Structure 1
Amino acid sequence: MSRRATAAALAACGLLTLAACGESDPDDRNEVNAKLVDPDGKRVGTVEIDEDDGTTQVSVRVSGLEAGYHGFHVHTTGKCEADSPSPDDPAKTGDFLSAGGHLNPDDSAHGEHLGDLPALLVNDDGSAELEFAGPFTLDDLRDDDGSAVMIHAGRDNYANVPERYAPQGPDEDTTKTGDAGDRIACAVIEPR
């Protein structure tokens, strides 16, 4: 083969490789962009999750929420249905209960759940921005039924209640949810 033919063959292989790199399989994407909605379906923000080299970066931006600290979690099921039954107790209904409890594959105590995220501080104008490295992978979030990112009405105490306030230890609501209160905004993370 001549040098010119060899160079042309190598260039063609390079172009084919680049073309193959440009095509992406939707199942191989390493990012999630989801909109946060309130119980009325109104968009209140976005959640972006990018995974690169084993690090998961989470960015959230919201507007129109009440000022103060809010519990911010990942829940087990990718459903954000207003006035929905709880998967664990269908007699209990409420906004976004369809999303189930906190993501917690290791059955850890509250404060150590994989879905327990840093508190979201909403400014006086109702806006908030938060960026952090997440404790999970996108595979953790995009399992068979997906997951949901949730903002709660109140702050999360991460079940960190000193014995002087609760001599018998935290109650069941605190150990399960951190007393973060109602679910006020939700974003669906679709399964793979």
Structure 2
Amino acid sequence: MLSKAAILPLSCSLLLGACATMDQADQTSTLARATLSDAAGASVGTVRIEQSGTALSLVADVRGMSTGQHGIHMHTTGKCEAPGFTSAGGHLNPTAHQHGTMNPAGPHLGDLPNITVAADGTGTLSAPLSGTAATVLASLFDTDGTAIVVHAGPDDYKTDPSGNSGGRVACGVLTQGA
């Protein structure tokens, strides 16, 4: 049996160990990032792919954009040639699903919720990504990379292949690592 003098240090050690484990589970790491630029080349925001535990998310922060909702998607090619950003290709779709969370044959990996931009031109989006870090990163960093594209209008979450979200107004190429 342990003496009272031994119980206190043991209890403290167990408590500190539990706290350290909780801190590790709460840590968020950035796996990829992009700087969004508009057609004139001005920086209008950033995007990060983050991992917390086993959960992945895309976090976007924009500024200097028009008020309202904008479609935002991951696109198949890591290339952002202004002014139209068509070099980014179509939506990232490694599983050959149709577009949209409201489409019974969707969604695909490139689908994300709309980002809402306030009257001051800023907006933030945090959206969960499906899949393990290994499978998502393999899709994002294939031979031609991945671009993040912000569109002029809102995504309707059902129209295949693009969500009827209008022209491309900002684009950024994802790069791996923090």
Instruction: Give the structure-2-normalised TM-score.
Output: 0.72
1:69 match: 69
How far did 1:36 drift? 0.5
Given that residues 143 and 191 in structure 1 are in contact (C-alpha distance below 8 angstroms), is that contact kept between their aligned partners in structure 2?
Answer: no
Q: 1:129 aligns with which of 116, 124, 133?
A: 124
Q: How many residues align?
A: 139
**Alignment-derived partner of residue 96 in structure 2:** 107
1:30–1:144 CA distance, 2 compared to 1 (3 A): farther
Counterparts of 2:165 and 2:146, CA distance in 1: 19
Q: Give RMSD over aligned pairs.
A: 1.8
Q: Describe the SS at the equivalent of 1:146.
A: coil
> 1:133/1:47 Cα in 2 relative to 1: closer, same or farther (>3 Å)?
same
Distance in 2 between residues matched to 1:96 and 1:145, nearest whole Å? 15
Rounded Cα–Cα distance in structure 2 between residues aligned with 1:179 and 1:97:
15
Give the secondary-structure state (helix, strand or coil) at the position aligned to 2:46. Answer: strand
Displacement of 1:43 after TM fit?
0.1
Answer with 1 or 2: which has the greater Rg: 1
Offset from partner CA, 1:160-180 (integer Å, 9 cap, x none): xxxxxxxxxxxxxx3211110
**What displacement does 1:142 show?**
1.1
* Matched-pair identity in %: 45
Secondary structure, in 3 states, of the residue corresponding to 1:32?
Answer: strand
User: Are positions 1:185 and 2:170 aligned together?
Assistant: yes
Structure 1 gap segments, 5+ residues each: 1-28, 84-94, 160-173
Query: C-alpha offsets along residues 53-111 of structure 1, whole Å, 9 cap, x if unaligned?
Result: 4321221111110000100100000001014xxxxxxxxxxx11000000011111111
Amino acid at match of 1:60: A
2:80 corresponds in structure 1 to 80
4+ runs of 1 displaced by more than 4 Å? none
TM superposition shift of 1:30: 5.7
User: Whole-Å Cα distance in 1 between the matches of residues 30 and 121 of structure 2?
Assistant: 30
After TM superposition, the structure 1 = structure 2 runs for residues 94-173 of structure 1, keeping only pairs within 5 Å, are 95-111=84-100, 112-136=107-131, 137-159=136-158
Provide the C-alpha distance between the structure 2 equivalents of 1:123 and 1:176, rounded to a whole number of angstroms.
Answer: 27
